[in-house]
Homo-oligomer: A and B are copies of this chain.
Amino acid sequence: MASSSAKMMRAVICDSPGPVSVLNLREVPVPTPQPGQVLVKVLAFGINRAEMFTRQGHSPGIIFPRIIGIELIGTVAGYPPGDGPEPGDIPIGSRVATCMGGLGRQIPGSYAEYSCPWKKNIRAVPDTTLPLATLAAMPEMFQTAYGSLVDSLDLQRGESILVRGATSSVGLTALQLARYLGAGRVAATTRSGARAQMLRDLGATDVFVDDGNLADQVPAQFDKVLELVGATTLKDSVKCLRPKGTVCMTGIQGGKWVLDDFAPMTDLPQRRRLTGYSGDPSDFLALPWEQLIKAVEARTIQIPLREFRLDQLQEVHKVLEDGGGGVKMVVVI
């Protein structure tokens, strides 16, 4: 049985697909972990654009009402009967992190005081001086940036990379992570020249104001492009690649997932390569998590963030709808 004595909890329920007003803070029963799950007392969680898409009804297979939220930092509060803690399991009371794996989609999510992620998808949080809010900003953001740079783009030391749409939270992380991983030239784009200095301060070697025709400014110059704007700029991003370079589409700041007319033999000339990144729980588990936490402690990688409370999720989603504000938003409970 769950060892927590709490019977009821506060949670933000997404009542149905709709505008921000469908998100409502309610008292609901603490969930009971099913076999293979673990009960986690949520301490803090990061906010993601994916949650806005789910709320708007764009994620397939979601049954409403649903507690959304795809990542969290918390403490282990219980295991289901007969299913733990077993030898090797993380002890009750220990701090853990998780993201993806159906959280906030097929199973209740993190916008709550308790959640029941899959045991196989949690990992321990090492001892750290980082504030809870900073830790909460990390799982999904680092998984996405690291997965895109290392797994999808196979970024090598000394290679040049362009981060297109660099002022988003993932973009800022990817920019700094690319430097940290030893990339050579690390260029960044922004739609507004006003943010160029901020990007330089975080390690961008070049900053370009993106008018949609970047290939005119930097034709065939990069080994790798991380495409965070999406389908609207992807063909132009391909033209910024050197022969045999790779572009990875990871974000859709431009609001568009789909290329309406894509001709690989002409749109990917001279062996330019296209790949995508959409995340997987195994990626979070494979992350060099301890090493990244140390890099954040040392401020080698900085995480601009904005902190909210559980009763502010409507406000948080309004900010998401306005573009996210260029910082990672987190909720501390």
Given A152-B271, A271-B152, residue A276 in contact with residue B280 (CB < 8 A):
no
Residues from chain B with Cβ under 8 Å of A265 in the complex: 249-250, 252, 257, 276-278
Interface 1/0s, chain A 240-271, versus B by CB < 8 A? 00001010011010000111111111111111
Residues from chain B with Cβ under 8 Å of A271 in the complex: 151-152, 275-277
Task: List the B residue with the shortest CB-CB distance to A234.
Answer: B264
**Option from B152, B249, B274 in Cβ contact (under 8 Å) with A275:** B274
Task: List the B residue with the shortest CB-CB distance to A244.
Answer: B151
A273 at the A/B interface (Cβ < 8 Å)?
yes
Residues from chain B with Cβ under 8 Å of A250 in the complex: 265
Given A273-B275, A280-B270, residue A261 in contact with residue B263 (CB < 8 A):
no
Decide: B280 and A275 in contact? CB cutoff 8 A.
Answer: no
A272 at the A/B interface (Cβ < 8 Å)?
yes
Nearest CB in chain B: distance from A152 CB, A: 5
Task: List the B residue with the shortest CB-CB distance to A271.
Answer: B152
Given A257-B265, A260-B261, A263-B257, residue A273 in contact with residue B274 (CB < 8 A):
yes
Nearest CB in chain B: distance from A266 CB, A: 6
Nearest CB in chain B: distance from A279 CB, A: 9
Nearest CB in chain B: distance from A310 CB, A: 30
Which residues, 191 to 248 on A, are CB-close (under 8 Å) to B? 231, 234, 244, 246
Residues from chain B with Cβ under 8 Å of A267 in the complex: 276
**Option from B234, B257, B273 in Cβ contact (under 8 Å) with A246:** B273
Decide: A268 and B274 in contact? CB cutoff 8 A.
Answer: yes
Decide: B261 and A259 in contact? CB cutoff 8 A.
Answer: yes
Decide: A258 and B269 in contact? CB cutoff 8 A.
Answer: no
Decide: A258 and B249 in contact? CB cutoff 8 A.
Answer: no
Q: How far is the CA of A274 from the CA of B278 in the complex (A)?
A: 16
Residues from chain B with Cβ under 8 Å of A152 in the complex: 271
Max chain B Cβ within 10 angstroms of own Cβ: one of A246, A262, A264: A264
Residues from chain B with Cβ under 8 Å of A249 in the complex: 264-265
Decide: B276 and A268 in contact? CB cutoff 8 A.
Answer: yes
Task: List the B residue with the shortest CB-CB distance to A266.
Answer: B278
Q: How far is the CA of A270 from the CA of B248 in the complex (A)?
A: 12
Q: How far is the CA of A307 from the CA of B264 in the complex (A)?
A: 32
Residues from chain B with Cβ under 8 Å of A261 in the complex: 258-260
Residues from chain B with Cβ under 8 Å of A231 in the complex: 263-264
Nearest CB in chain B: distance from A326 CB, A: 21
> Sorted from nearest, which 4 A-B pairs have the closest CB atoms?
A264-B276, A268-B276, A249-B264, A265-B276
14 more CB-based (< 8 A) A-B contacts, given A231-B263, A259-B264, A267-B276:
A151-B271, A231-B264, A259-B262, A262-B262, A265-B276, A265-B277, A265-B278, A268-B275, A268-B276, A269-B276, A269-B278, A271-B276, A272-B276, A274-B274
16 A–B contact pairs at CB < 8 A? A152-B271, A231-B263, A257-B265, A258-B263, A259-B259, A259-B261, A260-B260, A265-B276, A265-B277, A265-B278, A266-B278, A267-B276, A268-B276, A269-B278, A273-B273, A274-B274
